[in-house]
């Protein structure tokens, strides 16, 4: 421990920290919090719809302030991530910032000096898991009062969640939102030296902060954010409130990031956004969409490029034309449909009909005959009838989706759908999910069978979780393949002959000649 850290540690007075937890009434805390750092704004669909047209600011000047540049020396951090790839990638950014502050990562809560819970608000059970974890961490905080526990991510953008933490979980030191990640150095400092819970959740819709450091999870595949936020306002979804308005990164910044990843040896990038094909719609000085961006990335020497998640409404002809070039642009398209019933789609505010979705699928298949299509489906939307659910089942078959993420509708406070009366019993919703999943499994197994005996290209990611003697990786169409092969093939694209097709994965043997064996 250096002199500076000793000084800093001396300033963290344990009794105060405990006093805060034991003596402050939650009403005091809430009053303070509303006066100071938090603009009380629950997810409010009406306010959120009236988004201001003011310019999105781009910031290129991120740096770690000098006074916190070594604050983490000799200390460790742990970030638990819940939810989607966007959160996974935000975790990589937070890990990057903490690493630049001198912290090292750990996977053990006992060793950690900072624990951050990067949360997901998309469904109720995701939130319940986080509250469970918050409860589990309380004894550790009482044992180690210097430990900083923070809650960030989508849940912290919800006023009800912040209130619940303030009232019931005063062992939490820090709450910050999805628009405040770049403020982590200052927030950690305030949490270390302050005597109150730090709450900084900006309801403003967010700028674009470039040049944030990142510690990526692996060295083979990388996420690249191309845009943030969502303006679609599907009636069931909390994301437009937790992630702010749609705002795109400048193409040159994205291309530079991809080039940098190539230089580091990455084999695959996935372009990320809640609604990637709305990319560029917010540019006022540029006619440039996802198709143009993909076309430019197509020319970069990276073997594999994916993108997620697409909204059917914004999937335009230019994008299809560019994707049809193939090469490093992979023909696996994840195209969430949500429901097969036009009436339900209307109630969901998806802005397309069943027929329009099928027409889009037809166009995609015409341009890319071998494309794999996967989707997201919600069952049990308020008042969904048996016939409407059946339309989802028939759409699933008609499109021939090879996989689907399926969910039971979960009411989210502040969204229009949550205010609807719902006459569908939970048991019926569960049965519908079960029936849908049976169909998804059947279609997945059928799609896998087509690969039996074929040779596929696999990007080898590492050892299989179940058996270290087996390697695992993904095909171009995102099929998981397990096979025996030399460890030296990890990080490379190799050819594997498929010997067995299962429901969700393929087994095979490597075609030796394609790999350099050291």
Interacting residues toward ligand SF4 by CB under 6 A: 230, 232-234, 237, 239-240, 274-275, 311
On whether the CB atoms of residues 364 and 357 are closer than 8 A, the answer is no
Report what 410 binds from ligand SF4, ligand SAM, none; CB cut-off 5-8 Å by kind: ligand SAM
Pick from 169, 311, 332, 479: which binds ligand SAM (CB under 6 A)? 311
Q: Of the two residues 340 and 473, which places its CB atom closer to ligand SF4 in the complex?
A: 340
- Tell me which residues in 66-125 interact with ligand SAM (CB under 6 A): 84, 122-123
Provide the 10 A C-beta neighbour count for residue 310: 20
Does residue 130 belong to the site contacting ligand SAM (CB under 6 A)? no
- Tell me which residues in 218-277 interact with ligand SAM (CB under 6 A): 236-237, 239, 274-275
Q: Of the two residues 192 and 276, which places its CB atom closer to ligand SAM in the complex?
A: 276
Tokens of 328: 């490093």
DSSP label of 195 = S
Q: Give the shortest CB-143-to-ligand SF4 separation in angstroms.
A: 40
Q: Give the shortest CB-227-to-ligand SF4 separation in angstroms.
A: 12
Report what 233 binds from ligand SAM, ligand SF4, none; CB cut-off 5-8 Å by kind: ligand SF4
In angstroms, rounded to a whole number, what is the distance separating the alpha carbons of residues 385 and 34?
43
On whether the CB atoms of residues 266 and 304 are closer than 8 A, the answer is no
Provide the 10 A C-beta neighbour count for residue 192: 21
Query: Where are any strands of DSSP class E within 253-390?
Result: 268-272, 304-308, 332-334, 372-379
Provide the 10 A C-beta neighbour count for residue 35: 8
Q: Give the shortest CB-55-to-ligand SF4 separation in angstroms.
A: 22
In angstroms, rounded to a whole number, what is the distance separating the alpha carbons of residues 334 and 275?
11
**C-alpha angle with apex 190: 188 to 193, nearest 5 degrees?**
105
Burial 357-380 (b: 16+ CB within 10 A, else e): bbebbeebeebbeebbbbbebbbb
Report what 307 binds from ligand SAM, ligand SF4, none; CB cut-off 5-8 Å by kind: none
Q: Give the shortest CB-126-to-ligand SAM separation in angstroms.
A: 10
DSSP label of 57 = P
CA 228 and chain centroid, separation? 11
Q: Of the two residues 214 and 311, which places its CB atom closer to ligand SF4 in the complex?
A: 311
Pick from 72, 229, 240, 336: which binds ligand SAM (CB under 6 A)? 336
The sign of the dihedral angle between the CA atoms of 157, 272, 440, 507 is negative
Does residue 309 belong to the site contacting ligand SAM (CB under 6 A)? yes
Report what 210 binds from ligand SF4, ligand SAM, none; CB cut-off 5-8 Å by kind: none
Q: Give the shortest CB-472-to-ligand SF4 separation in angstroms.
A: 29
Positions in the binding site for ligand SAM (CB under 6 A): 84, 122-123, 236-237, 239, 274-275, 309, 311, 336, 338, 376, 378, 407, 409-410, 412
């Amino acid at each position: 421990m250096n002199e500076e850290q000793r000084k800093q540690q001396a300033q963290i007075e344990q009794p105060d920290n405990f006093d805060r937890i034991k003596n402050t009434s939650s009403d005091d805390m809430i009053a303070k919090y509303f006066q100071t750092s938090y603009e009380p704004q629950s997810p409010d669909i009406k306010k959120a719809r009236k988004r201001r047209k003011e310019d999105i600011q781009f910031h290129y000047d991120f740096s770690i302030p000098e006074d916190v540049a070594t604050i983490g020396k000799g200390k460790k951090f742990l970030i638990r991530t819940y939810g989607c790839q966007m959160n996974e990638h935000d975790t990589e950014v937070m890990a990057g910032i903490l690493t630049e502050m001198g912290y090292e990562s750990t996977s053990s809560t006992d060793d950690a000096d900072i624990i951050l819970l990067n949360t997901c608000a998309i469904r109720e059970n995701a939130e319940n898991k986080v509250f469970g974890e918050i409860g589990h961490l309380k004894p550790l905080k009482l044992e180690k009062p210097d430990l900083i526990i923070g809650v960030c991510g989508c849940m912290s953008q919800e006023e009800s969640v912040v209130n619940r933490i303030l009232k019931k979980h005063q062992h939490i030191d820090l709450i910050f939102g999805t628009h405040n990640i770049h403020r982590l150095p200052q927030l950690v400092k305030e949490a270390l030296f302050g005597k109150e819970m730090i709450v900084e959740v900006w309801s403003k819709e967010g700028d674009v902060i470039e040049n944030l450091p990142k510690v990526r999870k692996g060295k083979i595949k990388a996420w690249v954010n191309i845009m943030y936020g969502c303006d679609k306002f599907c009636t069931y979804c909390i994301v437009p409130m937790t992630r702010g308005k749609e705002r795109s990164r400048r193409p040159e910044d994205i291309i530079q990031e991809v080039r940098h990843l190539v230089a580091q040896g990455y084999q695959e990038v996935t372009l990320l956004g809640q609604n990637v094909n709305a990319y560029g719609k917010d540019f006022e000085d540029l006619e440039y969409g996802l198709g143009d961006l993909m076309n430019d990335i197509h020319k970069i020497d990276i073997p594999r490029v994916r993108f997620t998640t697409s909204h059917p409404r914004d999937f335009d002809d230019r994008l299809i034309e560019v994707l049809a070039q193939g090469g490093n642009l992979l023909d696996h398209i994840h195209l969430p449909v949500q429901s097969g019933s036009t009436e339900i789609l209307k109630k969901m505010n998806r802005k397309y009909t069943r027929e329009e979705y099928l027409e889009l699928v037809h166009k995609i298949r015409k341009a890319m005959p071998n494309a794999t299509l996967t989707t997201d489906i919600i069952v049990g939307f308020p008042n969904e009838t048996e016939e409407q659910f059946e339309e989802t089942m028939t759409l699933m078959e008609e499109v021939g989706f090879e996989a689907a993420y399926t969910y039971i509708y979960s009411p989210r406070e502040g969204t229009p759908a949550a205010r609807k009366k719902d006459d569908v019993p939970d048991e019926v919703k569960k049965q519908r999910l079960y029936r849908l999943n049976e169909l998804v499994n059947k279609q997945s197994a059928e799609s896998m069978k087509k690969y039996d005996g074929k040779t596929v290209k696999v990007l080898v990611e590492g050892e299989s979780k179940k058996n270290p003697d087996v390697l695992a990786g993904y095909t171009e169409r995102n099929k998981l393949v397990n096979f025996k092969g030399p460890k030296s093939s990890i990080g490379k694209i190799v050819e594997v002959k498929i010997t067995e097709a299962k429901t969700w994965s393929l087994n095979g043997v490597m075609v030796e000649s394609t790999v350099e064996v050291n």
